[in-house]
Chain A
Amino acid sequence: MTTSLDDMVDRAPDGEIEVAGGVFKHAYDANWKLYFENLCDAAHPLFTHRSSIEAAQQQSDAVHSDGTGEIALRQMRQNGAPYSFWESQVGIWTYPNGHSFLGDYHDDAKLVAAMNDPVFRDYIAALEAKKGKACAKDVLAVRRWNSIVYPNLSFMSQFQQLRVVHPIAVDRTVVHAYTFRLKGAPARMFRNTISFANTVNGTGSLVLTDDLEIYNRIGIGLASEGTEWLQVGRGFSTDVPDAHGGRRGRNSTSEVYIRNMLDAWRAYMTNGHAARAAA
């Protein structure tokens, strides 16, 4: 997890980040754990976000954009990556106490901050000027999607997003989503950060609204007497041990990070007396 935390700050040419750009406060009527169970879930975008993926795929790029739509549409189309992509190019890593990260997903060449984007080129130049070419390359080579610092924090370095999850009641959760500015980066880059935040964290976003709906639906389902157990077994038989006492999935579609969080939760609830169950 040190790499994830370092990555957040290392990406700033001046080596400092600052929280800026306001805050989203989104709410849903279900348990806080569901939010974390979604954050590192690589299996859902293609299905849950189908409506925005298709709407984005059908959108003409000839229509006027001030840059906002361009960034939003690229992200929505990226959510439509085939399932095989998640199985072959993305990984999930977990560590003791519930922490985890999804990695190797957004490579900078494919993304909003694409290499051919002049803003991103300026950013790389600023990073190289401050840190040297080799170091800048190492910094950009770290490709993390969401990192979870269990049990209340998640962040995403590449697009400077930070989320804090607030349990309000067993069936009510409020999430505060912040953006942060990379000090020393081109000013225009922060505008991209804001556009990305509106797309993935916005209360009226074309993407997040489907996630909120699913949390609400699970909340309704859990309050019923229909199902006694939820199964989180995906990938269980193919997970492997990893460094620092962790475990990782064979690929990103494993639910190993959910099992890992529940292990930590059980330890919290039993004052550490429950034996760790190897995720």
Chain B
Amino acid sequence: MKRAAAPRRLKPRPLDVARCEQFFMHEARLLDDGRFDEWLALFTEDAWYWIPTEPDQQSPFDTVSLVYDDRRLLETRVRRLKSQRIYSQEPPSRTSRIVANVTVEEVTPDRSACTVRSKFLVLENRRAAQRLFGGTALHRLAQRDGNLRIAWKRVDLLNCDTPLDGILVPL
């Protein structure tokens, strides 16, 4: 009888730029493909997702935000995106995004979490119009069971304080 192999102790994979880049490419692909449930699953149970209205905005609680979702609201946002009656996505947006210039800004001493900065460009096409969003993203990534999860995400749009039509597809 074959003995069950003793569980092999997996060394946690390092939180390096290459791994974060892979993760961001995966995230970008989920969003471009409209796989919003899978995107939501990337977030931790108490995550938040934030797009400020001001450059260098200090807090989502004393100043308005283009988007500020705690986990509960983020779930509702994603559920609405799948609704048959979301008129603002009829026809749906098509997006194509590029993530680059990834740098790891800070890592916890036990290497369980890190803050990562990246640059992004998102092209959005809907009806006859094409829009271009760009800016800087900050992700707080946490190790969970050998995978990366988003503990929070802050998206600083270059044009955060200029007049904008509705933002539907997450950036």
Residues of A within 8 A of B (CB): 20-29, 48, 50-52, 54-56, 58-61, 63-70, 72-73, 76, 174, 177, 179, 190-191, 194-195, 197-198, 201-206, 208-210, 212-214, 216-217
A148 to B66, CA, bound (A): 24
Closest to A202 in B: B66
A166 closest partner in B (C-beta)? B163
B83 touches A203 (CB 8 A): no
**Contact (Cβ within 8 A) A23 B87:** no
Contact among A27, A201, A205, A214 for B163, CB-based, below 8 A = A27
A174 near B64 (CB under 8 angstroms)? no
User: In the complex, what residue of chain A is closest to B77 when comparing beta carbons?
Assistant: A206
- Cα distance A236–B67 when bound, in Å? 39
Min CB distance, B63 to chain A, in Å? 4
16 A–B contacts, CB within 8 A, in A order: A20-B62, A25-B163, A26-B166, A50-B85, A54-B85, A63-B72, A68-B69, A194-B62, A198-B67, A203-B167, A204-B66, A206-B73, A208-B166, A212-B165, A213-B166, A214-B87
- Taken together as a complex, chains A and B put the C-alpha atoms of A27 and B163 apart, in Å, by 6
Q: Categorize the interface residue count of chain B.
A: 35 or more
Q: Tell which of B3-11, B23-31, B46-54 binds the partner.
A: B46-54
Task: Say which residue of B48, B63, B77, B87 sits within 8 Å of A194 (CB atoms).
Answer: B63
> CB < 8 Å: which of A25, A52, A191 contacts B162?
A25
Contacts of B46 in A (CB 8 A): 64
A204's contact among B67, B72, B162, by CB below 8 Å, is which? Answer: B67
Number of A-B contacts (CB under 8 A): 147
B164 and A65 contact, CB distance less than 8 A:
no
CA distance A50 to B77 in the complex (A): 13
A65 touches which one: B61, B73, B80, B162 (CB < 8 A)? B73
Instruction: Say yes or no: A24 contacts B62, CB within 8 Å.
Output: no
Instruction: Check if A65 sits within 8 Å of B79, measured CB to CB.
Output: no
- A59-B75, A212-B88 known; A68-B83 Cβ under 8 A: no
When A204-B66, A214-B87 are in contact, do A209 and B162 touch as well, CB less than 8 Å?
A: no
Q: Does B161 reach chain A (CB closer than 8 Å)?
A: yes
What residues of A have a CB within 8 angstroms of the CB of B51 in the complex?
A: 204
Chain A residue with minimal CB distance to B164? A203
* Interface residue? B45 (CB, 8 A): yes
A55 to B76, CA, bound (A): 5
Kindly list the 7 A-B residue pairs having the minimum CB-CB distance in the complex, ordered from nearest: A69-B72, A209-B166, A69-B73, A204-B67, A55-B80, A213-B88, A27-B163
Known pairs A190-B62, A209-B166; list 15 more (Cβ under 8 Å).
A21-B62, A24-B53, A25-B161, A25-B163, A29-B165, A64-B46, A68-B70, A68-B72, A69-B74, A70-B72, A76-B76, A209-B167, A213-B166, A214-B87, A217-B87
